[in-house]
A and B are shown apart, each in its own frame.
Chain A
């Protein structure tokens, strides 16, 4: 505390008693908290110090508590970048859209920093070829004239890579207790739009909805060794679950590195993720992907502040934590071994942003690739990820997905209309856990789903 000047003494004196009382009360309170804490392990703030108590539609858009004033300024500037709608150059405000793109703004797909809908305009299609020479920076064999992503929109006078449409097919199933359910999956239809860009018959496609972005700054600073420690590529412990890291390309270091972000963990860092999204999704050139322009559409400062915004969003605290059903569901979640991949607790290491450093967090992911079976497979390999492997999706904020974006879907292509449907799509390494879930009584299944909705 700064030295107190004599002229200020009278005011401070008034508060002296208050100060002492507060100090004593605070100390007592913390001892109380500690004893409560030790009785509920793994039940703490989802994002460590970055946790925010907000269960509204804006829950994914809150700045992390504990940012300094200067950091908050940077966050706010990044927030404006994230909302910026790009338009065709020349323009006074936000020029640089396209010529080809999927959407004109970050928030156009990551609505309120959460998901987008499984619909053209808010979703995109990754493409590649099954045979040929893998581009080491892309991790796949790109499609001639198109690349690795269908940009289904274009500014005036240009033609998109392809036209995109989709419809849904349904299938039915039954729990062991006889209760029926219905699942749906998308059927993608791509049609040629540009005579110069034929769509190869053997083109591999993978439909993706945009994922929520909060919390990824924490995942970025989980030490690599902690992720690799959990890997079991050859399933040596014979639990049926392997867990493999993806090895991807780092365009900054121009070297191979551990992949952390994206549904197949094909991206090394949030800066690269942000730069790729500007370039591929919006057609906005930037210092990492210049598109051959001497003066890219956005500068390094814009790229940095947008990345900083993504890194410094808070993680929503869980709700209904003292609800007995939720608590029962949490135990069942571990009992049927969902936690073998959806690892509840990770620790972050050192970080440039102080509030992200050395936090105990509860993302419910191991950040590793797992084979999820044929039903979910996109059959499109990506770096070391096979056509049926996916990175374990973080589950924090899961219960808020449809609060932030009503009617949003779950899983990589948004096919699951409910959390229950998402569970039922699990297969491959998750087959045994799913079978155990399905064998639970109706009330236990409901409790487990209630737990997931409390995240």
Chain B
């Protein structure tokens, strides 16, 4: 029975060591990502929500505080800012396509951006969700780093937004083909643009399965809707909360 206290002490060290939680986050994510790719990128096996659930469950099971976890994981979290800046590169590359159909894409962008936020807030508001949940839901169609920044600025909970965004992407990728069949959408550019706008990176991955053109328009829509939402949502949200909050 010599081992027990040693293991206990070791655990005390590990649970409070930033190195442990940082390494564990990287390991869990990569293992789940490997499974995801083995499955042929089956949307319901997306590694992001599963990593969050598994690591979150581990914190609860071991009674570890989120603060101890974040002391290690913050080194990954810090990279969200530079990664958001990096989105300028794909946006720049696809800018040619925007210029060719500027008016059509501009109108679709504004309509889509407003409808995506309004529908989410209206539905949850009518079903009785509290205000900070509504704020956290409002940028759910936008790529995660931008959505979390917007959510925080507007008084939402960035952690909730992160989960909502990832689930939205999964739902969009799974349901897109069905929605397009019901509404008679056959134009590749429209299919891609809507997927990127409503379901960010996960939607874009799905759009590439519809075709090269759909994928390119989806990639462009991610950056455009990120920008449009960051600018329009601060103006739109107070109105939505007046009606549905």
* A-B interaction: no
Report A's interface with B, CB cutoff 8 A. Answer: none
The residues of B with any CB-CB pair to A shorter than 8 Å are none
